[in-house]
C-alpha cells in the first residue's frame, strides 16, 4: 500500500469511528434538540463548507454566524465547530490528498503532529468555563483575521516551489502545527495559519491544501470524541453543519472549483474582527454582572 492509499484508508476509518459515536449520541439525545430552526443551521453548514473548500476557512465564519444569530451558546461553540465540520472536512481531505502530491514524510508527520495537539487540547477545552471560552475565541478570531489580512495584502514571503520539508524546516513545521492543532479545539481554524506557515517555509501554495485539510481530517474525529463524551457541543447545530456541509464541499470541489474571492475575504475579515470584539465584550459584561454591588462602589 502506498502512502496516499494509506492516508485515504486512515482518514476513512477515523471518520467511520467518529460517525458511529456521533450518530449514536444523536440518537440517544434526540429529544434534547434545541428549538432552533433546521433551515439556518443547515444553511450555515452549506455556506461555510462551500467556501472552506475554496480556502476561506469555516471555523471563524461559523463562529460569526452563531454569535450574530444566537443559535448556539458561546460555551459550546468550539465543540460544535469540531464535531459539526468533521465529516465535511474529511471529504475535503480525501479529495485534495488524492489529487495534490506532497512529500509523504512531510504530509504524514504534520498530520500526526496536529492531531496530537488537538487530542491533548480537546480534553481541556471541553471543561473550560464560558468566559475562558469567549476569551479564547476572541483571541483566535483575531489571529485568523490577521492571517487572512496578511494573505490578502500579500505580506507572506514569495511562494516557493517545494512540496516537502526536511531538516530544521520540518522540525519547525511540526512544532508549529502541533500548536495549531491544540488551538483548533478552542475554535481557531487551521487553514489560514497553516497557509501562512507553508508560505513562510518556502513551500508551494498548493501544498497547503492537502496538509491543512489532511491534518484537520485526522485530528477532528479524535478530538471530537472528547467533546461528544463531555456533551460539550450543540447537537442540533452540529447535525445541521454536517448535513449540508458535505453537499457544499462536493459542489465547490467538483462543480465550482474556483471563484474570485478577494472581496469576500475582505468581508470575512471585517466580520471576524467584529465578532472578536463581541466575544471580548461578552466577557466584560459577564464579569460586570458578577461583581457584587459593594465591590463595584469601591
How confident is the model at residue 298, as a pLDDT? 37
How confident is the model at residue 266, as a pLDDT? 83
List the one residue out of 44, 69, 98, 107 whose CA is nearest residue 245.
44
CB 69: neighbour CB atoms within 10 A? 12
Residues 55, 213 contacting (CB under 8 angstroms): no
Mean pLDDT of the region 48-70: 88
How confident is the model at residue 248, as a pLDDT? 94
Residue entry with cell 428549538: 35
List the one residue out of 108, 122, 140 whose CA is nearest residue 6.
108
In the chain, beta strands by DSSP E: none
Query: Quick one: cell of 86?
Result: 468533521
pLDDT for 245 beyond 70:
yes
- Say how far apart CA 145 and CA 193 lie, in whole Å: 10
How confident is the model at residue 133, as a pLDDT? 75
pLDDT for 250 beyond 80:
yes
Residues 175, 101 contacting (CB under 8 angstroms): no
Mean pLDDT of the region 217-236: 90
How confident is the model at residue 283, as a pLDDT? 73
Q: Which residue has the higher pLDDT, 25 or 161?
A: 25
Mean pLDDT of the region 118-126: 74
pLDDT for 105 beyond 70:
yes
Q: What is the DSSP letter of 252?
A: I
Mean pLDDT of the region 97-124: 85
Amino acid at each position: 500500500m502506498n502512502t496516499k492509499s494509506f492516508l485515504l484508508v486512515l482518514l476513512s476509518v477515523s471518520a467511520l469511528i467518529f460517525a458511529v459515536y456521533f450518530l449514536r449520541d444523536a440518537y440517544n439525545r434526540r429529544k434534547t434538540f434545541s428549538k432552533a430552526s433546521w433551515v439556518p443551521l443547515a444553511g450555515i453548514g452549506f455556506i461555510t463548507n462551500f467556501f472552506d473548500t475554496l480556502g476561506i476557512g469555516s471555523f471563524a465564519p461559523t463562529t460569526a454566524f452563531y454569535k450574530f444569530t444566537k443559535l448556539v451558546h458561546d460555551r459550546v461553540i468550539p465543540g460544535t465547530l469540531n464535531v459539526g465540520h468533521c465529516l465535511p472536512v474529511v471529504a475535503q481531505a480525501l479529495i485534495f490528498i488524492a489529487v495534490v502530491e506532497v512529500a509523504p514524510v512531510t504530509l504524514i508527520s504534520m498530520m500526526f503532529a496536529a492531531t496530537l495537539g488537538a487530542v491533548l487540547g480537546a480534553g481541556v477545552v471541553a471543561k473550560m468555563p464560558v468566559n475562558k471560552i469567549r476569551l479564547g475565541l476572541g483571541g483566535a478570531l483575531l489571529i485568523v483575521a490577521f492571517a487572512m489580512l496578511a494573505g490578502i495584502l500579500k505580506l507572506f514571503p514569495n511562494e516557493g516551489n517545494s512540496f516537502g520539508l526536511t531538516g530544521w524546516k520540518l522540525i519547525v513545521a511540526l512544532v508549529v502545527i502541533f500548536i495549531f492543532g491544540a488551538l483548533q479545539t478552542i475554535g481557531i481554524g487551521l487553514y489560514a495559519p497553516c497557509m501562512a506557515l507553508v508560505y513562510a517555509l518556502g513551500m508551494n501554495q498548493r501544498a497547503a491544501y492537502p496538509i491543512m485539510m489532511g491534518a484537520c481530517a485526522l485530528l477532528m474525529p479524535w478530538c471530537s470524541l472528547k467533546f461528544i463524551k463531555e456533551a460539550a457541543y450543540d447537537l442540533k447545530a452540529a447535525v445541521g453543519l454536517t448535513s449540508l456541509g458535505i453537499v457544499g464541499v462536493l459542489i465547490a470541489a467538483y462543480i465550482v472549483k474556483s471563484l474570485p474571492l478577494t472581496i469576500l475575504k475582505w468581508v470575512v475579515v471585517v466580520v471576524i474582527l467584529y465578532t472578536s470584539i463581541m466575544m471580548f465584550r461578552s466577557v466584560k459584561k459577564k464579569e460586570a454582572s458578577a461583581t457584587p454591588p459593594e465591590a463595584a462602589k469601591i
